[in-house]
Amino acid sequence: MAEKINIEQLAVAAIRSLCIDGINKANSGHPGMALGSAPTLYTLWTRHLNANPKDSHWINRDRFVLSAGHASMLLYTMLHISGYDLSLDELKAFRQLGSKTPGHPEYGHTDGVEATTGPLGQGIAQAVGMAMAEQALAAQYLDGEKLIDHYTYVLSGDGCLQEGLSQEAISLAGHQKLNKLILFYDANQVTLDGGLDLTFSEDVKTRFIASGWNVLEVSDGNDIDEIDKAIKQAKKSKDKPTMIMIHTVIGYGSSKQGTSKVHGSPLGMEDGKKTKVEAYGFDHEEFHVPLEVYKHFEATFAKRGLKHYEAYQKLLTKYQKSHAVEFAKFAALTKGDVSRYLPEEIPEFVSGTSESTRNASGKALNAYMLALPNLIGGSADVASSVITKINGGTNFEPNTRYGHNINWGIREFAMASAQNGMLLHGGLKTYVGCFLVFADYMKSAIRTACISNLPAIYLFSHDSIAVGEDGPTHQPIEHLAMLRSLPNIHVIRPCDERETFSAWKLALKSEKTPTALILSRQNLPLIEGSSDKGVAHGGYVISKEKKNPRLLIIATGSEVSLAIAAQKKLLEEGIDVRVVSMPSIEIFNEQEAKYRDEVLNLPHKKRVSLEMLSTFGWARLAKHNYGIDTFGASAPAKDTMAHFGFTLDKFVEFIKGIL
Ligand SMILES: Cc1ncc(C[n+]2csc(CCOP(=O)(O)OP(=O)(O)O)c2C)c(N)n1
């Protein structure tokens, strides 16, 4: 390619070349899709995306999510060239310790990265959540469509579309008519192991159409005008999200183009140089970006973004004048500042009452909803079982976007992942719910929330074998251990109504840590010693010893009342014990050692944990662990509990055995 190339071709060549250089230098990374999809992102950035790199958190910016997170070098290159806070040196440090350019995009780590991606499929679901948040937020304010009105773009490969999660998300987006969501499908016919003929024969276009999407096609992924035309058309959609299938060549221009060999291996110096010079007409030293390319991005992307940004600032000033109260609310809530709305005190509760913690959670949700106008959420078709509805509230639907009740359908994974997207968007407080046993379906999305520091809220009810008749498939055993093993999560299993209100308050106050509330199906008595402050400490003495405790029982949730009953019975026989309620091990571990030692005032060998779930993990806190390390059984709850030893007599016997 000897002839002179125009600025657009030059820019695309520079983008591709930087991708080659970054991956070569790291000797690690995925050039395949980066080279194939470079023109798509070039077109999006220079002709459509509205954002301001100088204020990259501007609430009304367009969102772009790289669902195919392995093509991270392409995203970093776009962010660098378009003026985000990402230097060329950072691109040179691709995939190195401490760099801002980790192997896969990490939200909060790199300026301009909108979502943590890499686990395939999750980017699509997060983008769906962002598009939902955009619609919800616009509807929650008077004339809110002035405040929030933007597009959400997402780039997916074959991998994301093969993941089951993508179909959950696509189906949901079609049903919700998220017309401002635009998905680019990099259709390069290749995945990691080889050609698509190995694994994927479905008609992807028909699949999207069947799910309620518009489908457009770009026959040549190098044709900027063709891509541009498709985006323009997609933006006109009034009632459907749009998928643009773009035919690209994996590893475009390299000697291994069109094959899986270029999916995830650096080109190497020789092929890299040859590809840059011969295929792209780009004969420069490594990591060179011609000045005119930077200027071109300034004149297109940055200029357009700034124009929109400045117009928005003017609009905000006007809005502030005409809608002072609404504006104050918008300003506070889009900063995530809920403290001024949330009551510090929890209600008074009447002794002698009994309530399941799932019901208590429903009451707490409805109480806090009155104070927190941007609370929105729902469940995966178990709203009446997990008690996730806002009473008298409207459903979030295409014609009632102001509704706060989301019917997620039976799509747990997409629900959890889309919640991440909603939180990433900003402006909303969210929660999602399902049975604890199905937390596994959501696991990877929960993990992403933890990595991304998102204050997601999970309501997990039916929290033990006390589910009864539904049997082992519906009785959680190892699930609490699984959740607790995640870094950066608060798992809270309240023991009564009071603790549940406290747990909800903590969840709503959290800014960077997800919270899982573990809720009972069965009624639990209000416990005299339960305390709001105690929950805030994660664990506390809920029922003190008489004088000199010989043992210390640490219980959570529904087992706290059993522990207290055992304490009473043991005392009758002259055995003094202390009972600690430990709704959240993680929060307890965050307390000062002095406090922890005061609560757990006996040595490890004199402590007993009591939880009607797997004992896994409890050995760290107590030598003796009373729990269930097999699967459950189908029977009425009372019989199941008796069968597994969760009766007063059996537990007391166990304690005596220790002594
Ligand atoms: C959930 C998940 N499974 C597996 C992987 C490993 N992986 C990364 S990329 C990839 C292939 C993706 O194919 P495609 O989306 O077509 O990307 P391309 O080959 O075009 O780069 C695989 C299997 C992953 N990142 N996430």
445 lines ligand 1 (CB under 6 A): no
Is the pLDDT assigned to residue 71 strictly greater than 50? yes
Model confidence over 262-285: pLDDT tens digits?
999 999 999 999 999 999 999 999
447 Cα to the center of ligand 1, angstroms: 18
| pLDDT at res. 98 | 97
447 lines ligand 1 (CB under 6 A): no
250 lines ligand 1 (CB under 6 A): yes
The overall average pLDDT reported for the chain is 97
246 lines ligand 1 (CB under 6 A): no
CB atoms within 10 A of CB 487: 9
Asked which of 2-16, 272-286, 393-407, 418-432 is least confident by mean pLDDT, the reply is: 2-16
Ligand 1 atom nearest residue 68's Cα: 15
427 lines ligand 1 (CB under 6 A): no
77 Cα to the center of ligand 1, angstroms: 20
The model carries a pTM of: 0.98
54 Cα to the center of ligand 1, angstroms: 32
pLDDT-derived band at 1 (thresholds 50, 70, 90) equals very low
Catalytic residues: 412
Cβ atoms 578, 566 nearer than 8 A: no
120 lines ligand 1 (CB under 6 A): yes
Cβ atoms 535, 580 nearer than 8 A: no
Q: Which residues contact 654 (CB under 8 A, 6 or more apart)?
A: 608, 624, 626, 645
pLDDT-derived band at 3 (thresholds 50, 70, 90) equals low
Question: What average pLDDT score do residues 482-491 get?
Answer: 98
Question: What average pLDDT score do residues 295-315 get?
Answer: 98
Among the listed residues 102, 72, 78, the one whose alpha carbon sits nearest the alpha carbon of residue 90: 102
Is the pLDDT assigned to residue 36 strictly greater than 80? yes
Q: Which residues contact 421 (CB under 8 A, 6 or more apart)?
A: 65, 115, 125, 126, 127, 128, 129, 130, 131, 132, 133
Ligand 1 atom nearest residue 264's Cα: 21
| pLDDT at res. 338 | 81
162 Cα to the center of ligand 1, angstroms: 9
The proportion of the chain whose per-residue pLDDT surpasses 70, expressed as a percent, equals 99
pLDDT-derived band at 189 (thresholds 50, 70, 90) equals very high
Q: Which residues contact 347 (CB under 8 A, 6 or more apart)?
A: 367, 501
Convert 564-619 into a string of H (helix), E (strand) and C (coil).
HHHHHHHHHCCCCEEEEECCCHHHHHCCCHHHHHHHCCCCHHHEEEECCCCCCCHH
Model confidence over 155-178: pLDDT tens digits?
999 999 999 999 999 999 999 999
204 Cα to the center of ligand 1, angstroms: 17
Model confidence over 558-600: pLDDT tens digits?
999 999 999 999 999 999 999 999 999 999 999 999 999 999 9
Ligand 1 atom nearest residue 186's Cα: 20
